[in-house]
Amino acid sequence: MAPAIFDYILVGGGSAGCALANRLSADASTRVLVLEAGRPDYIWDPYIHMPAALTFPIGNRYYDWRYESEPEPWLNDRRVYHARGKLLGGSSSINGMIFQRGNPLDYERWAADPGMGEWDYAHCLPYFKRMENCLAAPGTPDAEFRGESGPLVLERGPASGPLFGAFFAAARQAGYALTTDVNGYRQEGFAAFDRNIRAGRRLSAARAYLHPVLSRPNLTVATGAHVTRILFSGTRATGVEFVPGGTLGALGMRGGAPRRATGGEVIVCAGAFGSPALLQLSGIGNATDLRALGIDVVADLPGVGENLQDHLEVYVQYGSKRPVSVAPALKWRNRPIVAGQWLFARTGPGATNHFEAGGFVRSNESVPYPNLMFHFLPIAIRYDGSAPAGGHGYQVHIGPMYSDSRGSVRIRSRDPFEKPALRFNYLSTETDRREWTEAIAIARNILGQPAFDPFNAGELSPGPAATTDAEVLSWVARDAETALHPSCTCAMGTGPMSVTDPGSLSVHGVSGLRVVDASVMPYVTNGNIYAPVMMTAEKSADLITGNTPLPPEPIPFYRHASV
């Protein structure tokens, strides 16, 4: 087959990739190719479409890249498991569906860096609005912050039942406020959360952005296409090399030798691990490191793969005296009923992600905006579905949200199929460790309030053995898992460690190459990061096509009195 010529070659049909595929192919004269290493998001697959099945794809090679960190020095040299979606929709096809924009001050922080002025909240807000259809917002005071007609339909968690009731009451008893919408005027406080669920099904980026436009003749989507290298003529990207590893959708190829796709521009959307790794494999990165691996250097860009940020989290679990948790829905004998109810009516325990509510808290008076996020679950269970506490229980997921620990993603060899070395350095700074002890104290304070008295059968985890700060930190080191928000490894900016240009998402030092995904964030936001990734993709689409950017919306948002 003769190499096809495309205007844009998107590497990765994940969250950002699907949004860009839609926006870039809206102009019928623009030919767009999406190369996705994973498989299609089959319509019949309950593992990805049934919200409560969210734990099943994790660790499964048909859905998950199955990364693992290097031994983490501050976590007793533990390797931390990192799931990443490997299918159309990318991580949005296997994630927890929690929708959090982050705090407006996250974007003010971005904008304070040189060259980042147009990434402040006023410039990002119109794109948050364009991408979403928030069903809960119309008629509320937060409506002016929310979108009503975008592809990402958001359902608010019902957060009803005795345990959610106790949680909200306990937060108030502990002195925290409730807020009407954590994605609206005021993030700080406790509230029901928005979710990427539509009529009982997961609404991934693929379902929201890609499937509705798959019939466009100028859009080609290939699955099972692992991109191994970006091709260059001098410092100009001319296309990519990819290995068809299985079924290969619309290009109609199967297995075998590497193929090439050539085009006007390459846009890498391979995620916070995949994007820097592909750049390094292609000769863009720290020149000394690349030469040591025998890779010809195209651009000496030392920031590629550096500045890795993430959120670490633990579960503070309690047993429940009353049989009011959702534990029965997980029992094997009840699963056929739950599955049947979901299959035929899209209702019941299968139709929710169970992450229906939570909150944002400042752990001390020196932080300008919430540095802790809570998710409350009316069950005691680990994220990967393992180690349920047995009977009824409840838990909060908690962890610091803008930790100053930094890590890296570095390839180990020239082999594009060898996974890169991931180092996070979790808990490596004093601030990070202090915020952890504050976080656990606050979680215990809330869960120990009188509102929980009718349910509280005692703390299961960390339990009475973790009392002093040192014991708490030791438990965190043993027990914490990633909240799955790796980011910032091809950061936008103009400084020597930046990788992408804030005004165009072009990679510094080369032409015809851009990166758009979680890796371009300069700082991780203070919540789950899918929504910020999608906003970044929406805004980047206008920057790439040259469309007139949406006008900024400088509306006031909540700031704590100290800010």
Ligand X SMILES: Cc1cc2nc3c(=O)[nH]c(=O)nc-3n(C[C@H](O)[C@H](O)[C@H](O)COP(=O)(O)OP(=O)(O)OC[C@H]3O[C@@H](n4cnc5c(N)ncnc54)[C@H](O)[C@@H]3O)c2cc1C
Q: Which residues bind ligand X (CB under 6 A)?
A: 11-17, 35-38, 58, 83-86, 90-92, 94-98, 100, 226-227, 269-272, 274, 278, 484-485, 517-518, 528-531, 533
If the CB atoms of residues 200 and 271 are measured against ligand X, the closer one turns out to be 271
Shortest approach of ligand X to residue 271 CB, angstroms? 3
If the CB atoms of residues 462 and 493 are measured against ligand X, the closer one turns out to be 493
3-state secondary structure 16-65: HHHHHHHHHCCCCCCCEEEECCCECCCCCCHHHHCHHHCCCCCCCCCCEC
Shortest approach of ligand X to residue 253 CB, angstroms? 14
If the CB atoms of residues 226 and 392 are measured against ligand X, the closer one turns out to be 226
If the CB atoms of residues 90 and 399 are measured against ligand X, the closer one turns out to be 90
Side-chain half-sphere CA neighbours of 421 within 13 A: 13
If the CB atoms of residues 229 and 433 are measured against ligand X, the closer one turns out to be 229
Shortest approach of ligand X to residue 304 CB, angstroms? 15
211 is annotated as an active-site residue: no
Reported as type and span, the H/E element at residue 81 is strand 81-82
Structure tokens at 523: 């700082």
Q: In 422-553, which residue ranges form alpha helices assigned H by DSSP? A: 430-447, 469-479, 530-545
Shortest approach of ligand X to residue 45 CB, angstroms? 15
Who contacts 429 (Cβ-Cβ below 8 Å, separation ≥6)?
403, 404, 405
Radius of gyration over every alpha carbon of the chain, rounded to an integer in angstroms: 23
Shortest approach of ligand X to residue 276 CB, angstroms? 11
Q: In 201-270, which residue ranges form alpha helices assigned H by DSSP? A: 205
Catalytic residue among 49, 123, 485, 508: 485
Who contacts 10 (Cβ-Cβ below 8 Å, separation ≥6)?
17, 20, 21, 24, 32, 33, 34, 35, 267, 269
The Cα-based distances of 11 to 72, 225, 316, 493 in angstroms read: 30, 9, 39, 22
Reported as type and span, the H/E element at residue 280 is helix 271-281
How far apart CA 257 and CA 243 sit, in angstroms, is 6
Shortest approach of ligand X to residue 112 CB, angstroms? 23
Shortest approach of ligand X to residue 394 CB, angstroms? 19
How far apart CA 433 and CA 504 sit, in angstroms, is 37
Shortest approach of ligand X to residue 247 CB, angstroms? 14
**Burial grade of 335 (CB within 10 A; 0-12, 13-18, 19 or more):** middle
Angle 469-479/430-447 helices, nearest 10 degrees? 100
Task: Find tokens 């994973």 and name the residue.
Answer: 38
If the CB atoms of residues 96 and 348 are measured against ligand X, the closer one turns out to be 96
Task: Find tokens 């410039």 and name the residue.
Answer: 123
Buried b (16+ CB within 10 A) or exposed e, 480-514: bbbbbbbbbbbbbbeeeebbbbbeebbbbebebbb
Shortest approach of ligand X to residue 437 CB, angstroms? 25
DSSP state of 281: H
8 Å CB contact between 263 and 5: yes
If the CB atoms of residues 227 and 361 are measured against ligand X, the closer one turns out to be 227
What is the number of the residue whose Cβ is closest to ligand X?
14
Residue count (the chain): 563
Catalytic residues: 485
